[in-house]
Amino acid sequence: MKKIGIIGATGVVGQEMINCLYDRNFPMSELRLFASARSAGKKVSTPKGELTIEEFSVEEAKKSDIVLMAVSGSFAKEYAPQITEGDAIVIDNSSAFRMDNDKPLVVPEVNAKDLKNAKIIANPNCTTAILAVALYPIYKEFGLKKTIVSTYQATSGAGYEAMMELENETRNYLEGKEVSCDKFPSPIPFNLIPRIDIMTDNNYSKEEMKVVNETRKIFHNSELQISCTAVRIPTFRAHAESVTIETERPINPEKVRDILKNAKGVEVIDDPKNWQFPMPLTASKKYNVEIGRIRQNIIFNEYGLDFFVCGDQLLKGAALNAVQIAENIV
Ligand SMILES: NC(=O)c1ccc[n+]([C@@H]2O[C@H](COP(=O)([O-])OP(=O)(O)OC[C@H]3O[C@@H](n4cnc5c(N)ncnc54)[C@H](OP(=O)(O)O)[C@@H]3O)[C@@H](O)[C@H]2O)c1
């Protein structure tokens, strides 16, 4: 039994961490919830009774065996090394450590073996984790020459306040009031924004380059040819991704469906004639990543495939993946 701490417990990821730990019967003797001074004293109900949010301090967080961190990159950079000076292990959801050579970046269905005895473990970017769990079984069987991804990302990917901006500004729009924006650079209701995070020198956004670099690290293939266009859309929850691949070996949809039926963490929903395919509404609050619209690509023919994935980015893209990592180290 482990003593668990969650830092950022009032955020959208932190709240899902609490749910996942109880729902999966994680073997814990204690759960402590930390956030900023703003939230200290707030009550959170859990299946095992009410817990009180504590103001974060290194001294208190250090007393946990495993600390799940869901704050910001700068916060993680400052505090994760201090918390792990003792026996505690930190599993961090920010981008702070993902590309550090000495820190594992883990999607348990793909590379749990990278965990070894690390003290700080990085959870991947949400879009990357959802893609990796669906793409890896295909990569292993058929090899990948090229992978081209376009994303449709929910507002909760930018945090609780961003999700509320969608709700509040949609109401303003429908009531004929002025629509403004704060968490997003443009109004999000009835719009989409083809840029997530800052731009980088090669004219891809940082979010897009996270998908490229993190997938390479998780797959242990620094040469993987992959590109991404990341787009924010006005949904609350679950990211969708359209994926086109060119493979090294011949591929066809039937074989892929068969392989994915036995793969962990994915669920094939692929009956488009009957309107059955992955969607944010069906993928929300679900642990498995949905995959469908699996079809032979008409450019690469027997060496190519198109498919569509949709996964709950608060779960597989964040909280669930972090709890699965914790399950692997107990
Ligand atoms: N949202 C997603 O889909 C997603 C997916 C993967 C990874 N992530 C990453 O996960 C992290 C959390 O994201 P989120 O979406 O959950 O954000 P969020 O909803 O904005 O929550 C942020 C959390 O951080 C806490 N916090 C802020 N400053 C703090 C401080 N000085 N000390 C202690 N706690 C502090 C907040 O506490 P208060 O309530 O007290 O302010 C809140 O609990 C980020 O690094 C994000 O990039 C998010």
Both tokens assigned to 40: 């200290």
What is the average per-residue pLDDT within 47-61? 96
Query: Over the stretch 153-195, which tens digit does the pLDDT of each residue have?
Result: 999 999 999 999 999 999 999 999 999 999 999 999 999 999 9
Q: What is the predicted pLDDT for the residue at 265?
A: 98
pLDDT in tens, 3-50: 999 999 999 999 999 999 999 999 999 999 999 999 999 999 998 899
Which residue, among 284, 304, 184, 186, has the nearest Cα to 240 in the 3D structure? 284
Which of 20, 126, 228, 310 is the catalytic position?
126
Q: What pLDDT, on a 0 to 100 scale, did the predictor assign at position 8?
A: 98
Q: Is the CB of 187 under 6 A from ligand 1?
A: no
Structure tokens at 184: 């997003």
> Would you state the pLDDT for residue 274?
98
Of 33, 30, 60, 68, the C-alpha closest to 48 is 30
Question: From CA 232, how far away is CA 229, in angstroms rounded?
Answer: 10
Instruction: Sketch the domain layout of the chain as residue ranges.
Output: 2-124+318-329, 128-313
Confidence of residue 259 (pLDDT cuts 50, 70, 90): very high
Ligand 1 pocket test, pick from 43, 68, 72, 164 with the greatest ligand atom count within 8 Å of Cβ, gives 72
> Phi and psi dihedrals of 241, rounded to 5?
-145, 130
Q: What is the mean pLDDT of the chain?
A: 97
Catalytic residue among 20, 220, 228, 239: 239
Mean pLDDT, residues 139-161: 97
Domains 2-124+318-329 and 128-313 share a fold: no
Q: How far is the CA of 294 from the centre of ligand 1 (A)?
A: 35
Q: Assign 306 a pLDDT band (cuts: 50, 70, 90).
A: very high
Rounded distance between C-alpha atoms, residue 13 and residue 9, angstroms: 8
- Give me the pLDDT at residue 55, please: 98
Q: How far apart are CA 131 and CA 243, in angstroms?
A: 9
Q: Whose CA is nearest to atom 28 of ligand 1?
A: 36
**2-124+318-329, which class in CATH?**
alpha beta
According to CATH, the topology of domain 128-313 is Dihydrodipicolinate Reductase; domain 2 (3.30.360)
> Using an 8 Å Cβ cutoff, are 138 and 162 in contact?
no
pLDDT in tens, 191-244: 999 999 999 999 999 999 999 999 999 999 999 999 999 999 999 999 999 999
All residues at 6 or more sequence positions from 48 whose CB lies less than 8 Å from its CB, including other chains: 22, 31
Please report the pLDDT score of residue 324 as a whole number: 98
